[in-house]
Structure 1
Amino acid sequence: MLDVRRLRLLCDLSRLGTIAAVAQAHTCSASAVSQQMAVLEREAGVPLLERTGRRVAFTAAGRILVRHAETVLAALEQTTAALAAVGTGLAGPLRIGAFPTAVRTLLPAALVALGRRHPGLELMVSELDPVAVPAALRERRLDVGLLHDYDVVPVKPDAALDAAPLLDETVFLAVPATESTTEGADPLRDVRDAAWIMAGPGTLCHTVTLHVCRAAGFTPRARHHADDFATVLALVAAGQGVSLVPQLAAAQPPAGVRLIPLPTRRRTRIAYRRGAATHPAVAAFVSALRLSTSAFLGE
C-alpha cells in the first residue's frame, strides 16, 4: 500500500526539483526525504528516481506515479469536504491568505459576515504576497488564499490547486495632479521620461510595470521602490514619480493624484487545494468574499 505522506513528498519533489528544496519546505533533513523516497520505491516495486550525484530525475514510472498521486490527493480533499458537509455546523480553523490590499478592503466585511453566520469557525488571516500562496496551500499552512495575475503577464495554473474568479480590475497610471498629458494620446508616451515608483525587483508588480512600459517603447527609470500601494500613491501625490496602480488600491486616492485608466487588467482568484471546492467552510468563505467584493465595488 502506498503511503499518502510519501506521495505528498513525491509531488513536492516534482514541483520543487531537488530533495534539498523538499527538505526545506518540510523542515526536515535531506537524508530523511531520501529515505522516504527509498521506502516509496519499495512500496511501488519499481524505480521512481534516477540519481546522478546530488541531482535526481524521474523515471517513466515516477512521472506516472506523480500524475496519479495528484489525483489521489485531490480525492482525499473531496472526501474531507464530503465528511465536513454532513457535520452539524461549521467549526474549527479556516486559514486564509491574502495580499495586503485585499486584507484592507475586501476581507473585513467578509470576516464579519462569516463570523456571524458561523460562530464556530476560527478565522485566521495571514497577509501574504500572492506568489507565496500556492506553496502555503500545498503545504497545508492555508486552507484558502487569494491569487492574482495580469492579462499581460499571465501566471501558469498550478496542477495541485483549483481557483474561482473573484475580481477583474482596471489598472491605472497614477500621476501627480500637476502632471500634464496630451489629450487623447497614449498616456504612457507622456511619462516615458518621468521618474517611476516601482515594486521591488522580483515581484509580479515589478515585472508587469517593465512589460507595460517596454510594450510602449521605453524602459521605466525607477526612482523609488515600494510594495505597498498606499505608500506608492503617497509618493505620487508628493510629486515623486508615476506608477501603475490596480483599481482595488486606487479606490480612495489621496489628493494630488490623477488616475488614468489603461487597457491592462489585474485578475484576482480565490484558490484552494484540488477537491476542496465543496468543503462547507471553503464554500462559505467564497460566498462571503464575493458578496463583500460586490458591496465594496458598489455593484
Structure 2
Amino acid sequence: METRRLRLLVELSRLGSMRAVADTVGTTTSTVSQQLAVLAREMGAELIEPEGRRVRLTPAGRRLAEHAAVILAAVETARLDLAPGAEPNGTLRVAGFATAIRVHLLPLVTELAAGHPRLHILVREHEPAEALELLAADETDLALTYDYNLAPADPDPALHTTALWTAPWGLGVPADAEVSDGADTLEVFDGFRAQDWIVNSRGTSDATVIHTLASMAGFTPRVTHQADSLDLVQGMITAGLGVGLLPMDTPTVPGVRLLPLTGPEVVLRAHVVGRHGRLGWPPLALVTDLLAQRTASRATGQ
C-alpha cells in the first residue's frame, strides 16, 4: 500500500472533489481517479461511489480514510525522527569492551539522560569480534572495539570506523622477576621465554601480539592460560601461572610488576564503529560525536 494513494484518499475525504484533490497535489483528475482505483483493488473494497456528477466515499472508504490519516501522521513522525538534525530519540544499542563502556560510555549515559530524555542506551559488553558480529547481524547499532598496532583489524568496507584513543601496554610479570634496566621489548620477551603466557579468552589480538614479538625475539611462546578479566590476569601472575599483557595505566596488585615495552611498542587502539548508511541517524551520530569529543578532551587533559 503506497502512502501517496492514502494521501489522495484523505484529501478526497477532506475536499469532496477529485478536481480539488488534483489541484492540491499538483496532478490531473484522471491520475487521482486511477490511483484511487488501484487502492480499491489493493484493499478489495469499493472506496468511492457516484453522487450525481461527483463522487463520495463509501463506508469502507471513510473507514480507510480514518486509518490513512493515522498512518500518514505516523510516517511523517518517523521521517522527522530520522531526519539529520532531528532531536535524538529512541533506543540506541551499543556493544563494546568493558573499559570503553565503563570509562567512556557510562558517563555519557548519565549526561544524555538529562539532556536527551527520549534517547535510551542499551548496553551489551562484548569483545571486538563479538561486537562486530552483532553489528553485521543488525543486532546492535554501534560497536566499541579495539585492536593493536601489531595486530591491526582487517578493514570492512561496509563499516565506518572512528578512532577514539590509544593506550600503551606493557608486560605483567611477577614482582620479584629479574629484568635488566633499559631492556627493550625483545629483550624483555626473551627474558621470559621459559614462562607460560596468559592471553585473552574471548579474542585473539593480544595472542597475535605475543606471538609476533616472541617470534622477533627468536622463540615460540607457550600459551597455556586464558582470561578475559584483567584483574584475573594479575591474579594468575601473582599465583605464578605465567606472564601477560596489561595496560600501562592499570594499577598493579602486590606481587605484579608492569614492564614497559619500549621498542617495538605495543599500543591498543580504540574505535567506535557503525554501518555505512546509518551514520546520519541522530542517536547514532550524537553518541559517536560525544565519544570522540570525550576521548579527545581526555587526551589533551581538558
* 8 Å CA contact 2:81, 2:88 repeated in 1: no
Change (3 A) 1:182 1:95: same
Give, in whole Å, the separation in 1 of the partners of 2:115 and 2:192. Answer: 49
What is the count of residue pairs matched by the alignment?
Answer: 218
Q: Which stretch shows the higher mean deviation, 232-241 or 141-150?
A: 232-241
Where does residue 264 of structure 1 map in the other structure? 266
Counting only pairs closer than 5 Å after superposition, residues 189-208 of structure 1 correspond to structure 2 as 189-200=190-201, 203-208=204-209
Give the SS at the match of 2:165: strand
> Structure 2: which amino acid aligns with 1:105?
V
Alignment pair present for 1:85 and 2:84: yes
Give, in whole Å, the separation in 2 of the partners of 1:288 and 1:271. Answer: 14
Fraction of identical pairs, as percent: 32
* 8 Å CA contact 1:113, 1:288 repeated in 2: no
Where does residue 279 of structure 1 map in the other structure? 281
* 8 Å CA contact 2:165, 2:269 repeated in 1: yes
Kindly report structure 1 stretches of 4+ aligned residues shifted beyond 6 Å.
295-298
Where does residue 28 of structure 1 map in the other structure? none
Give, in whole Å, the separation in 2 of the partners of 1:213 and 1:274. Answer: 38
Alignment pair present for 1:142 and 2:129: no
Q: How far off its partner does 1:173 sit?
A: 0.7
Change (3 A) 1:238 1:92: same
Q: How far off its partner does 1:257 sit?
A: 1.9
Where does residue 44 of structure 2 map in the other structure? none
Q: Structure 1 unaligned runs (5+)?
A: 1-79
Give, in whole Å, the separation in 1 of the partners of 2:175 and 2:253. Answer: 10
> Structure 2: which amino acid aligns with 1:255?
P
Q: Which stretch shows the higher mean deviation, 212-221 or 116-125?
A: 212-221
Q: How far off its partner does 1:184 sit?
A: 1.8
Give the SS at the match of 2:93: strand
* 8 Å CA contact 1:200, 1:225 repeated in 2: yes
Where does residue 153 of structure 2 map in the other structure? 155
Change (3 A) 1:218 1:235: same
> Structure 2: which amino acid aligns with 1:268?
A
Give the SS at the match of 2:120: strand
Where does residue 234 of structure 1 map in the other structure? 235
Give the SS at the match of 1:206: helix
TM-score by length of 2: 0.65
Q: Structure 2 unaligned runs (5+)?
A: 1-78
> Structure 2: which amino acid aligns with 1:237?
T
Give the SS at the match of 1:245: strand
After superposition, the C-alpha distances for 1:199-245 in whole angstroms (9 at most, x for unaligned) are: 23862222222222222211222342212222112222333321012
Counting only pairs closer than 5 Å after superposition, residues 56-75 of structure 1 correspond to structure 2 as none
Give the SS at the match of 1:122: strand
Give, in whole Å, the separation in 1 of the partners of 2:164 and 2:97. Answer: 14
Where does residue 117 of structure 1 map in the other structure? 115
Larger Rg: 2
